[in-house]
Amino acid sequence: MRKKILWLMMSLMWAFNSPVMAGTGASGQEEEDPMQVFVGKQVIDLQMRDLEGQTHRLSEYVGKGKWVLIDFWASWCGPCRAEMPELVKVYKKFHANGFEVVGISLDDDAEDWQKAIKKMKLTWHHLSDLAGWDSKAVKTYKVFGIPSNLLVNPKGKIVASNIELEELTEKLAEVLGE
C-alpha cells in the first residue's frame, strides 16, 4: 500500500512539474501567449452571426475609428462570467469616448449564450458561429483558453493580446481620457 501511495505521489509531482503542466516549453522557459503573434498586425476578418441570427463581419466593428476589445468567452466559462461585471464597468466608462467591445462566444447552444448576455446585461456587440472550440475564431486567432481578448486600435491594428482589465482601463484612460 505504501509503495502505491509513494508511486502516486511521485507521479503527481512529476506531472505537475512537467513542461506541459507547468506552462513551460521544452527549454524550461515560460511559454508565450500564442495570440501575441497578432500584435502589430491588422485584424483578420471573420464572419459570424449575432444574437438575432444575422450575419456580420468583424470588420464592421474594427478599424472604424474606435478602440475595440475583441473578447473571447462562453456562457459556460466561470472565469469569463466572473470578469464580466468589471468589463461592463470599463465599457460604461469609456464607451461614449470611443470604446467598443465585440464579444465572440465559444458557445454551442444559442439559448445559453443569449440567456447569459441578458442576465449579465452585456450591451455590446455579440457574435458566434455556435461551434464551441471548433469555432472559426479559435482557429483564426489561436485562442488557447478563455477568457481571452485582443485590443484593437482605431485603425484596425491589434495592439495587445490578453490584456488584463486593469491594464485596459489604464490604456483607455491614456488614449481616450477619463
Q: Distance between CA atoms of 137 and 139, rounded to whole angstroms?
A: 5
pLDDT per residue rounded down to tens, the chain (178 residues): 433 333 333 333 333 333 333 333 333 444 578 888 999 999 999 999 999 999 999 999 999 999 999 999 999 999 999 999 999 999 999 999 999 999 999 999 999 999 999 999 999 999 999 999 999 999 999 999 999 999 999 999 999 999 999 999 999 999 998 7
Q: How many CB atoms lie within 10 A of CB 163?
A: 16
Whether 102 and 68 have beta carbons less than 8 Å apart is answered as: yes
Q: Distance between CA atoms of 5 and 47, rounded to whole angstroms?
A: 52
pTM of the model: 0.82
Q: ∠ CA(120), CA(93), CA(72), 5° rounding? A: 50
